[in-house]
């Protein structure tokens, strides 16, 4: 497939899908997005936007490659149901959201019987990664991965930002473990901020400390850098410590319980997170700040996220 022939369909043009579409345009991948309402900020930069699936599919070449950037749960199945009448054998659907891996396995089985490849595509790197180069963990059959691989390698941060993890479901499983590790790291950094700011006789400059830690320290890394960036941009004292999340890491904990695999740090990070919804605590102000920086997550209680969490599971563990 030549560069000029690369055409990608995206359903779900929110923060992640929208940024991914802009990155694709810059890398000579033609993009068509299915929307309900106009998004001039995308259309003005070269993304073709349509409101119906006839126009959506007429734009794409063969085999069609379609990336879903949707909340986990019933929305994914509803959109797949809408796509099915238009799909041909050999077409590829990538679920780039945080779907539960057992749900992805079942979806892949159903679609493969119809000759359609379904790939569970764990996508990391946050909003900035979607815009400038993401990290993809992809599960699925080899034939389907070979079709989608040229697109994902161009949209990845570098050649190592793409990995075919193996069988269907493995991509979303790896991403789920990734998210559990992320929660544990966020908790540790947040607790460190509490230690720096509370009950000591030092007048510490938090921004300077995190800048220092970003330069050669053992704990240097993107989350530490985002903490420094967030402190420059946000009045830390005004951040709400109330943290909403869509509950995916809860699935990981339940899965570990069923498999009798001990994950005390990840489990404790989730249990501790619930405290943010009861009492204003510095630890959770720091976590909220980092989550906002990498994912655009809102500060404080958010009814849309509560609704998303309540409808995000299909398969019962």
**Beta-bridge partner residues of 10:** 33, 67
What is the reported pLDDT for 317? 34
What is the reported pLDDT for 316? 41
Mean pLDDT for the chain overall: 91
- Confidence bin at 295 (pLDDT 50/70/90): confident
- Confidence bin at 302 (pLDDT 50/70/90): low
Residues 6+ apart with CB under 8 A from 38: 49
Query: Three-state secondary structure along the chain?
Result: CCHHHCEEEEECCCHHHHHHHHHHHHCCCEEEEECCCCCHHHHCCCCEEECCHHHHHHHCCCCCEEEECCCCCHHHHHHHHHHHHHCCCCCEEEECCCCCHHHHHHHHHHHHCCCCEEEEEEEECHHHHHHHCEEEEEECCHHHHHHHHHHHHHHECCHHHEEEEECCCHHHHHHHHHHHHHHHHHHHHHHHHHHHHCCCCCCCCHHHHHHHHCCCCCCCCHHHHHHHHHHHHCCHHHCCCCCCCCCHHHHHHHHHHHHCCCCHHHHHHHHHHHHHHCCCCHHHHHHHHHHHHHHCCCCCCCHHHHHHHHCCCCCCC
Tokens of 49: 């936007």
Q: What angle do CA 173, 179, 184 make, to 5 degrees?
A: 130
What is the reported pLDDT for 184? 96
CA gap 33, 22 in Å, rounded: 11
Q: Could you tell me the sign of the dihedral formed by the alpha carbons of 176, 178, 182, 183, in that order?
A: positive
Instruction: Please tell me the least confidently modeled range out of 8-12, 15-19, 45-49, 306-310.
Output: 306-310
Comparing C-alpha atoms, which of 6, 61, 15 is closest to residue 296?
Answer: 15
**Beta-bridge partner residues of 166:** 139
Annotated catalytic residues are 175, 182
Indicate whether 309 pLDDT > 70.
no
Tokens of 256: 């570990």
Quickly count: other Cβ atoms within 10 Å of residue 52's Cβ: 9
Instruction: List, for residues 151-208, the tens digit of each pLDDT value.
Output: 999 999 999 999 999 999 999 999 999 999 999 999 999 999 999 999 999 999 999 9
CA gap 194, 159 in Å, rounded: 38
What is the reported pLDDT for 36? 85
Q: Mean pLDDT, to the nearest integer, of 264-285?
A: 89
Indicate whether 308 pLDDT > 90.
no
With contact defined as beta carbons under 8 Å apart, do 228 and 210 qualify?
yes
Please give the C-alpha separations between residue 19 and each of 13, 14, 16, in angstroms, as whole numbers.
8, 8, 5
What is the reported pLDDT for 83? 98
With contact defined as beta carbons under 8 Å apart, do 106 and 254 qualify?
no
Residues 6+ apart with CB under 8 A from 102: 169, 315, 317
Instruction: List, for residues 90-132, the tens digit of each pLDDT value.
Output: 999 999 999 999 999 999 999 999 999 999 999 999 999 999 9
Indicate whether 248 pLDDT > 80.
yes
What is the reported pLDDT for 247? 85
């Amino acid at each position: 497939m030549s560069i000029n022939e690369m055409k990608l369909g995206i359903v779900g043009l929110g923060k992640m899908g929208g940024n991914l579409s802009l990155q694709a345009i810059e890398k000579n991948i033609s993009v068509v997005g299915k929307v309900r309402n106009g998004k001039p900020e995308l259309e003005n930069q070269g993304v073709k936007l349509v409101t119906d699936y006839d126009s959506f599919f007429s734009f794409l070449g063969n085999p069609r490659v379609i990336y879903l950037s949707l909340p986990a749960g019933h929305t994914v199945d509803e959109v797949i149901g809408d796509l099915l009448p238009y799909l041909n054998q050999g077409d590829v659907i990538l679920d780039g959201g945080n779907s539960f891996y057992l749900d992805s396995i079942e979806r892949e089985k159903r679609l493969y019987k119809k000759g359609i490849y379904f790939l569970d595509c764990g996508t990391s790197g946050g909003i900035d990664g979607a815009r400038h180069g993401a990290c993809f963990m992809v599960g699925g059959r080899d034939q389907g991965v070979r079709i989608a691989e040229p697109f994902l390698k161009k949209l990845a941060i570098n050649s190592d930002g793409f990995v075919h993890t193996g069988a269907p479901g493995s991509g979303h499983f790896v991403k789920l473990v990734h998210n559990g590790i992320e929660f544990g790291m966020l908790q540790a950094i947040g607790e460190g901020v509490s230690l720096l700011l509370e009950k000591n006789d030092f007048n510490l400059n938090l921004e300077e400390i995190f800048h220092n830690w970003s330069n050669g320290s053992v704990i240097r890394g993107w989350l530490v850098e985002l903490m420094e960036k967030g402190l420059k941009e946000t009045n830390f004292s005004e951040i709400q410590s109330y943290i909403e999340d869509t509950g995916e890491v809860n699935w990981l904990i339940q899965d570990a319980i069923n498999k009798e695999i001990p994950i005390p740090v990840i489990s404790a990070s989730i249990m501790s997170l619930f405290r943010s919804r009861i009492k204003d605590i510095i630890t959770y102000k720091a976590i909220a700040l980092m989550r906002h920086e990498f994912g655009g997550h809102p500060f404080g209680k958010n009814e849309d996220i509560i609704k998303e969490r309540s409808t995000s599971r299909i398969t019962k563990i």
